[in-house]
A and B are shown apart, each in its own frame.
Chain A
């Protein structure tokens, strides 16, 4: 090889209890190269990245930077070696309670990098420089937790860039981003690569991988199965990932039966134009729109998680006005929130306890929980949704991100459910599993109404029968999935008028 790789790993393996998350992995990345890393949920992508970033230590194998072996004992070592990482879990990267400026300049707090006192002006000046370098446009005094996930992630990326990475490692950086934000990110990665930075890029969005990467490595069951040079066709990637064919992602568009939910005069936010919404049994209604277009606001109102701005709802013909999520859940409404880590995961809890949490009553008699009934439910979810991992008693953190997502979606389909509200349910879920989840939901949709919100129009078309498009809190169109295309949805999402054939 003419150029020495910036980083190379050989014979790397990692074992968790009885599972081998990585076995004998060898890889190298050259300066200026973008290496894609793909694989189904639980294939070992995040594990590899955690090792390269010093978060976890490998069971065996060697890592070299610029040809010299290194011991990445802790995250600081990895950073000193020039390996900078943006992890899958965004909230692990920001300090909530602090403002944007403080979050951008966190590194300055590390020992030996600044004086004793933190000056507000200096912090802001430094933060402004970092934000500008990363082309980030957010008010520096906004509290981070008030910002949408996409922006929080941009903050993490901006901070990482300020450390002048030699190798930039991105674990599913786009799963929380909108299409426009993805364009910005891709442009940035290209610029960095042109400057000689080596990039390791993990994503479940194959189009992105095909567009951006010079080579693509495919992990399956912890081992590298293939390394492709681009261009490479999508189906070949999918086949290498799954080790077989993927089921077709198409479905028959249905009309639905009796209305489950009827909403009139609903508003995403005060001041927005009202909209009506009917969800029928057996039908999957997609809601799409850019980040901030009001999808989450809409779903949360239907679930009682935020106060109803205006309008009236009825469920199965009876007036429905949930005061809180508890009331909604009792009425048979289920909701999967957008941000798994912050809104669904209980650190340290088992998969079983996550599965049964929304329906504790069903698993108890005179208040006493039945372990047997709980385990059975957990095993059903694991089985039906193909959750890969160490079983129902394992801590949820031992599951890969995508498999955690399957658990928090799947748990609501255990037991009585009339209306299922899903906010970005396919975030971080691999293509094979996405098809599986969509199929399960459609199977169950025979008896219940489903609303799926996603900022990815392609994703919505794959599962929905009918798609409602929001722009800036207002409905800009509603189309049947049968005669909608991703392009037409994109026009509507941008606020354009609907010139296509109406429904």
Chain B
């Protein structure tokens, strides 16, 4: 029989140094790398670490970040919105058409753009919630559908002021109020950056401090447990896609305003970048789940690296590879360094 000592022995053994290092690396690794990369670029090019360049970096990632916020929300409920890129493109086309072809006001174009985003979300919700199609496949379908629709409504052409439609010049053009959203500034801060900051704060509060956010995370964590706790899983999943669709629509409006014209497929590249930002976010602060802070850091990370490489005169065609490498590294961080995987 063993002697029983109550009260804990002094000098408690500590976790092995390696394990603690892994935990720290998992929580802070990505932030440390971000800081290191920033310092490196700052040392290499004096023009990098300046306020003006910070604004340029933020401006360059604003739309990606906004779209990524929506992707993040769709992921919290266990979904995955692959239609955001097509959504952005569709909204660009719709807003361009509204102003150029139909000579509507900027405000109306914004309203129509948001509705277009909700339409995409509605199709997603219909497929996923009502028809029960798996998220990835359903949103892939939606993606093709709206890429195609954007082509049909513009007869496959770009939309810009002065274009001819049926032999006559288009009646309208981008209003200056509308383009302000793309190129205007408030106290030297670009409008898209302000919109991004506002949406990030709203998304943060929504996901972390409201009961709706809690319910979304519950569904992502264990949908069956959430359902049996009385959460209307179907409604919340539809809500998640609605938020995702709206974010993509905002991104589309800002992009349209910046371009000042409706380019075919302008929004398509935003899918990969937004998904990458959201996935990189998993590795920030050890969250290991979709989260707003992580997504913002992820988007910033992409922006910093690309901006820095551009300053170092790296050719533009290396950018995709660099983003891919970033994504892979953070996936490895969040999936292999996870503490407590052996429990």
Residue of B nearest to A226 (CB): B1
Q: A360-B215, A361-B211 are in contact. Are A342 and B224 (CB under 8 A)?
A: yes
Pick from B9, B221, B228: contact of A325, CB below 8 A.
Answer: B228
Residues on the B chain within 8 Å of A368, using CB: 205, 209-210
Whether A369 pairs with B211 at a CB distance below 8 angstroms is yes
Residues on the B chain within 8 Å of A345, using CB: 222, 225
Whether A329 pairs with B210 at a CB distance below 8 angstroms is no
Whether A224 pairs with B13 at a CB distance below 8 angstroms is no
Give the number of chain B interface residues (Cβ < 8 Å): 33
A selection of 21 A-B contacts at a CB cut-off of 8 Å is A23-B4, A24-B5, A56-B343, A223-B4, A303-B228, A324-B232, A325-B227, A335-B228, A342-B224, A343-B225, A345-B222, A346-B218, A346-B221, A346-B222, A346-B226, A348-B288, A349-B221, A369-B209, A369-B210, A369-B214, A397-B343
- Complex-state Cα separation, A55 to B342, whole angstroms: 6
Whether A223 pairs with B342 at a CB distance below 8 angstroms is no
Residue A364 interfacial (CB < 8 Å): yes
User: Given A326-B232, A369-B211, list of 8 further CB < 8 A pairs?
Assistant: A55-B343, A221-B6, A303-B228, A344-B225, A348-B221, A360-B214, A367-B210, A369-B210
Residue A353 interfacial (CB < 8 Å): yes
Residue of A nearest to B340 (CB): A397
Residue A25 interfacial (CB < 8 Å): yes
Instruction: Among A335, A342, A348, A357, find the residue whose CB has the most chain B CB atoms closer than 10 A.
Output: A357
CB A152 to nearest CB in B, in angstroms, measures: 15
Flag B213-250 by CB within 8 Å of A: 1 or 0 each: 01100100110111111111000000000000000000
Residues on the A chain within 8 Å of B8, using CB: 15, 18, 20
Residue B3 interfacial (CB < 8 Å): yes
Residue of B nearest to A330 (CB): B230
Residue A311 interfacial (CB < 8 Å): no
Residue B2 interfacial (CB < 8 Å): yes
Residues on the A chain within 8 Å of B315, using CB: none
- Complex-state Cα separation, A369 to B209, whole angstroms: 6
Residue B12 interfacial (CB < 8 Å): yes
- Complex-state Cα separation, A344 to B214, whole angstroms: 15
Residue A59 interfacial (CB < 8 Å): yes
Residues on the A chain within 8 Å of B226, using CB: 346, 357
Whether A353 pairs with B214 at a CB distance below 8 angstroms is yes
Residue A95 interfacial (CB < 8 Å): no
Residues on the B chain within 8 Å of A363, using CB: 211
Whether B210 pairs with A56 at a CB distance below 8 angstroms is no
Q: A24-B3, A326-B231, A361-B211 are in contact. Are A56 and B218 (CB under 8 A)?
A: no
Residues on the B chain within 8 Å of A244, using CB: none
Across the A-B interface, give the 8 residue pairs with the lowest CB-CB distance, nearest first: A329-B230, A360-B211, A346-B221, A326-B232, A358-B229, A367-B210, A364-B211, A357-B229
Residues on the A chain within 8 Å of B232, using CB: 324, 326
Residue B212 interfacial (CB < 8 Å): yes
Q: A227-B1, A346-B218 are in contact. Are A337 and B343 (CB under 8 A)?
A: no
Residue of B nearest to A54 (CB): B342
The secondary-structure label for the interface of chain B is loop
Pick from A60, A74, A353: contact of B13, CB below 8 A.
Answer: A60
Chain A 472-492 residues near chain B, CB threshold 8 A: none
Residue A26 interfacial (CB < 8 Å): yes
The secondary-structure label for the interface of chain A is mixed
Q: How large is the interface on A (under 10, 10 to 19, 20 to 34, 35 or more residues)?
A: 35 or more
Residues on the B chain within 8 Å of A439, using CB: none
Whether B342 pairs with A305 at a CB distance below 8 angstroms is no
- Complex-state Cα separation, A20 to B227, whole angstroms: 35
Residue A225 interfacial (CB < 8 Å): yes
- Complex-state Cα separation, A322 to B227, whole angstroms: 13
CB A328 to nearest CB in B, in angstroms, measures: 7
Residues on the B chain within 8 Å of A111, using CB: none
Chain A 330-379 residues near chain B, CB threshold 8 A: 330, 335, 337, 342-349, 353, 357-358, 360-361, 363-364, 367-369
Residue of A nearest to B222 (CB): A346
- Complex-state Cα separation, A221 to B6, whole angstroms: 9
Whether B211 pairs with A347 at a CB distance below 8 angstroms is no
- Complex-state Cα separation, A366 to B221, whole angstroms: 24
Residues on the B chain within 8 Å of A23, using CB: 4-5, 9
- Complex-state Cα separation, A26 to B1, whole angstroms: 8
CB B127 to nearest CB in A, in angstroms, measures: 20
Chain A 24-82 residues near chain B, CB threshold 8 A: 24-26, 50, 55-56, 59-60, 74
Residue of B nearest to A304 (CB): B230
Residues on the A chain within 8 Å of B6, using CB: 221
- Complex-state Cα separation, A59 to B232, whole angstroms: 44
- Complex-state Cα separation, A344 to B227, whole angstroms: 9
Whether A26 pairs with B2 at a CB distance below 8 angstroms is yes
Residue of A nearest to B236 (CB): A326
Residue of A nearest to B211 (CB): A360
- Complex-state Cα separation, A20 to B13, whole angstroms: 11
- Complex-state Cα separation, A162 to B272, whole angstroms: 47
CB A50 to nearest CB in B, in angstroms, measures: 8
Residues on the B chain within 8 Å of A226, using CB: 1
